[in-house]
Amino acid sequence: MRRSPTAEDQLRAEFEDLLQATIKEVERGPPPPIETLFTDVYAELTPQLKEQMDAFLASGERRRPEVLDKFPL
């Protein structure tokens, strides 16, 4: 015996559809700047995090070629 969809089931389905559409839209865009690994952690960078970010950026390392087409990193 099948139960009829409830309002909660319908809401879950709508949410899942919206979530999947949003993921696909974001994945079509360019990857975020690598600096966001540091700047999106805290509202304000700690001195240690700023030092780590500066060292990383000075190293010249960016995204590895084998993952350039992957999202988000």
Q: What is the mean pLDDT of each run of 10 residues along the chain (73 residues)?
A: 80 96 90 84 90 86 61 50
Q: What's the pTM?
A: 0.48
Can you read off the two tokens belonging to residue 70? 């992957």
Question: What is the reported pLDDT for 47?
Answer: 95
Question: What is the reported pLDDT for 73?
Answer: 46
